[in-house]
Amino acid sequence: MPLIAPSLLAANFLRLEEESRMLNESEADWFHLDVMDGRFVPNISFGLPVISAIRKATSKVCDVHLMIEEPEKYAEEFKRAGADILSVHFEACRHLHRNIQQIKSLGMKAGVAINPHTPVESLYDILDQIDLVCMMSVNPGFGGQKFIPKTIDRIRTLRGAINQAGLDVLIEIDGGVTLENAGAIVAAGADVLVAGNTVFASPDPKATIRLLKEIGNK
Ligand code: DX5
Ligand code: ZN
């Protein structure tokens, strides 16, 4: 079964405590937390104080997706705020290997996020250093966008490379995941489904989370 990581970018920010409680009671595996700086992506979301607050509201894994430049400046603070997994963008890191070492030395799992235009082959030489690839299936910066179909081929290619190398790297798919496309995404080789609007805009988010897990299992 895939791991389900609801993105709190789509939550009601006036009710983060209730939204967290709902996720705690649900079959969600991780909390996906999207940090945007208005430089790497054309949008600003939330940052350290919000993550610290959410950390107090859950014991589930906090999966922090940094869409920021110079992530090395903040890695330590995100650890302190409660991140369990910290993903940095391939396109934002001039010294990616160093960024990954920094994240691991701080005691977090290290993820690398890649934009839809970045060849998955760009990651091959660091796959053995990381725990997770956050493959963007939309252009990062906004929730509620449409899934880019080419992602399916990209998942297959990356899954093949990970398996061939005998590595234990999770593939997380982020952006436009729905009840309609979740089955194909998991069949192609994804392990983790991020879902923002599909979960939070649904009339029954807990039931939707369960359905995402089940659909992915078929
Ligand atoms: C987009 C973020 C996503 C976003 C997903 O830049 O990285 O995590 O919240 O939202 P949906 O599932 O609504 O596309
Ligand atoms: Zn994200």
Which tens digit of pLDDT belongs to each residue from 74-117? 999 999 999 999 999 999 999 999 999 999 999 999 999 999 99
For residue 85, the ligand closest to its alpha carbon is: 2
> How many whole angstroms separate alpha carbon 218 and alpha carbon 206?
19
Query: Domain segments of the chain: what residues?
Result: 3-216
If phi > 0 it is left, if psi is from -120 to 50 it is alpha, else beta; for residue 62 that is beta
For residue 36, the ligand closest to its alpha carbon is: 1
Query: Which token pair is 24?
Result: 């705690």
What does the pLDDT average to over 146-171?
Answer: 98
User: What is the distance, to the nearest Å, from the Cα of residue 1 to the centroid of all Cα atoms in its chain?
Assistant: 17
Local confidence band at 216 (pLDDT 50, 70, 90 cut-offs)? low
8 pocket-lining for ligand 1 (C-beta < 6 Å): no
What pLDDT, on the 0 to 100 scale, is given for residue 132?
A: 98
CA of 9 to the centre of ligand 2 (A): 8
Burial of residue 104, with CB atoms counted within 10 A of its CB: 0-12 exposed, 13-18 middle, 19 or more buried: middle
9 pocket-lining for ligand 1 (C-beta < 6 Å): yes
Local confidence band at 125 (pLDDT 50, 70, 90 cut-offs)? very high
Return the best residue to mutate from 4, 7, 137, 200 for the ligand 1 pocket (most ligand atoms within 8 A of CB).
7
CA of 143 to the centre of ligand 1 (A): 4
What does the pLDDT average to over 144-172?
Answer: 98
CA of 172 to the centre of ligand 2 (A): 10
**Angle, helix 205-217 to helix 16-25, in steps of 10 degrees:** 40
What pLDDT, on the 0 to 100 scale, is given for residue 168?
A: 97
Element counts in the chain: helices (H) and strands (E): 8, 8
Residue 198: strand pairing partners: none
The overall average pLDDT reported for the chain is 98
Percent of the chain surpassing pLDDT 90:
98
Note the pTM of the prediction, 2 decimals.
0.98
Q: Report the nearest-CA residue for atom 4 of ligand 1.
A: 143
Q: Please name the helix (run of DSSP H) or strand (run of DSSP E) that holds residue 160, with its range, or none.
A: helix 151-164
Local confidence band at 215 (pLDDT 50, 70, 90 cut-offs)? confident
> How many whole angstroms separate alpha carbon 133 and alpha carbon 121?
12
- Asked whether residue 218 carries a pLDDT value surpassing 70, the answer given is no
* Domain over 3-216 is classified CATH 3.20.20.70: yes
- Asked whether residue 217 carries a pLDDT value surpassing 70, the answer given is no
